[in-house]
Amino acid sequence: MKEFISVKDLGDLKAGLAAAKYVKENPFADQALGRNRTMLIVFFNNSLRTRLSTQKAALNLGMNVMVLDVNQGAWKLETELGVVMDGDKSEHLREAIPVMCSYCDIIGVRSFAALTDRDYDYAETVLGQFIRYGGKPVISLESATVHPCQAFADLITIEEYKTKARPKVVLSWAPHPRALPQAVPNSFAEWMNAADVDFVITHPEGYELDPRFAGNARVEYDQMKALEGADFVYAKNWSCPGVTRPQDYGKVLNKDMGWTIDAAHMAVTDNAYFMHCLPVRRNMIVSDEVIDSERSIVIPEAANRVVSVQTVIKKMLQSL
Ligand code: CP
C-alpha cells in the first residue's frame, strides 16, 4: 500500500476488516515488522486522537516515531507553487517534503481544508504534494477532503456493535458555531457506501456532500424521518460543501439547534447507538443525556483509531 486516502486503498473491505480484527486481538504480534523503521507524523493542525493513536499504533508495530508540529517550532511552510516567497514563509513544501521523507519510512499528514478555495481543497493540493514529492507511503490523518483512518475506525466499531446483518446507519448534520471541513462526513459516506449497511444522510438543504463521496446514498432532508428505525446515529457538523452553490463553499448556512441530537431524536430510532468522531461540542451537536447514555459508543469508537491506523501501517510495512 503506497497511500491511504480512500476505502479503495484498503483493497477488499471484508479482508481489511478481518485484518483489523486480528490487529485488535494481537496488537503486539508484528513488532518485528517495524524494527528499525521510522514513522513520521506531520501536523499542520491540532489533534488529540490522531496524534496519540498513530503514535501508539506505530509503537505497537515496533517502529520508531517522530512527530512534527509544523506551526510550532518548524519553519513556516509555503504550500502554493509558483509564488514569490517574500512573506513570512521561509521554506517551500517542495524542499521540506523530500527532506522529511528522507528521515522516515512512512509519513502521516494532517492538513485541513482552508475552506476558502473549493478547487484547491478538493484537489488535495497539500497531501498531493506529499504523495508526488516524498517517495514514501503516505497516510491521510485528515486532509482537506478525507479522514480515512476515522472512517475505518467507525466501520470497525459498527461491525463490533451491530446486531443485524444489515444495520441502518444515519449520518446526521448537527449545528456548530464555526465552519468545519467536510473530511469526516465525506469519508464516512464513502466507507458506508462500500459497507453492507442501509445508509441514509440527513442535513438541511445546501449541505449536500460532494457526489464522489455521497455516491448513491439516500438523502432525507427531514431529520426525524431519516432517524426512524436507525441502528446507528452518526452526528457531525460540516460547512457548506458548495455542491449546489459554489459561492457558499465553506460557509455556515444554518445553526438550527433543532438538529442537535437529543433524547427526542434518539426515541424514534431502534434503540440506536450514538457515534461521533470527537472532539464534540456538547449541547450543540449532541445533548449531555445522549452522549452520557449507555448507547453512546464514542469512547470505544475513539479507541478503535489505534486499530484502524495500525492495520494500515502494518499493510504499508509489509509492502516496503
Ligand atoms: N477524530 C479525530 O481525528 O480527533 P483529533 O482531531 O483529536 O485527532
Cell numbers at residue 317, please? 510495512
The rounded mean pLDDT for the chain is 97
Confidence class of residue 80 from pLDDT cuts 50, 70 and 90?
A: confident
Ligand 1 atom index nearest CA of 53: 8
Structural domains in the chain, sorted by start: 3-146+304-319 (3.40.50.1370), 148-301 (3.40.50.1370)
Crossing angle of the two packed helices 49-60 and 298-318, in degrees rounded to 10: 50
Taking the C-alpha atoms of residue 277 and residue 141, their distance in angstroms, rounded to an integer, is 13
Q: Residue 272, exposed/middle/buried by CB under 10 A (0-12, 13-18, 19+)?
A: buried
161-217 pLDDT, tens digit each: 999 999 999 999 999 999 999 999 999 999 999 999 999 999 999 999 999 999 999
pLDDT tens track for 281-311 = 999 999 999 999 999 999 999 999 999 999 9
Pick the residue whose CA is nearest to atom 6 on ligand 1: 47
Tell me the CA–centroid distance for residue 110 and ligand 1, in Å.
10
Burial class (CB in 10 A: 0-12, 13-18, 19+), 170: buried
What average pLDDT does the segment 58-70 reach?
97
281 CA to centre of ligand 1 in angstroms: 13
Query: What pLDDT does 81 receive?
Result: 86
Write out residues with Cβ below 6 Å of ligand 1.
47-50, 142, 150, 277-279
pLDDT at 206: 97
- The average pLDDT across 8-37 equals 98
Rounded average pLDDT over 88-115: 97
Report the share of the chain in percent with pLDDT over 90. Answer: 98
Ligand 1 atom closest to 51 (CA): 8
pLDDT, tens digit, for every residue of 26-47?
A: 999 999 999 999 999 999 999 9
Spatial CB neighbours of 313, under 8 Å, sequence gap ≥ 6: 34, 39, 57, 58, 61, 63, 106, 139
- Residue 236 has a pLDDT of 98
116-156 residue pLDDT tens: 999 999 999 999 999 999 999 999 999 999 999 999 999 99
Query: What value does the mean pLDDT take over residues 243-254?
Result: 97
pLDDT of residue 97: 98
Tell me the CA–centroid distance for residue 182 and ligand 1, in Å: 14
Q: Provide the pLDDT for residue 31.
A: 97
Q: What is the pTM of this model?
A: 0.98
Residues 31, 219: Cα–Cα separation, whole Å: 44
Mean pLDDT, residues 97-101: 98
- Average pLDDT estimate for 256-268: 98
Decide: 31 and 62 in contact? Cβ < 8 Å: yes
**In this predicted structure, what is the pLDDT of residue 90?**
95
Q: From ligand 1's centre to the CA of 277, what distance in Å?
A: 7
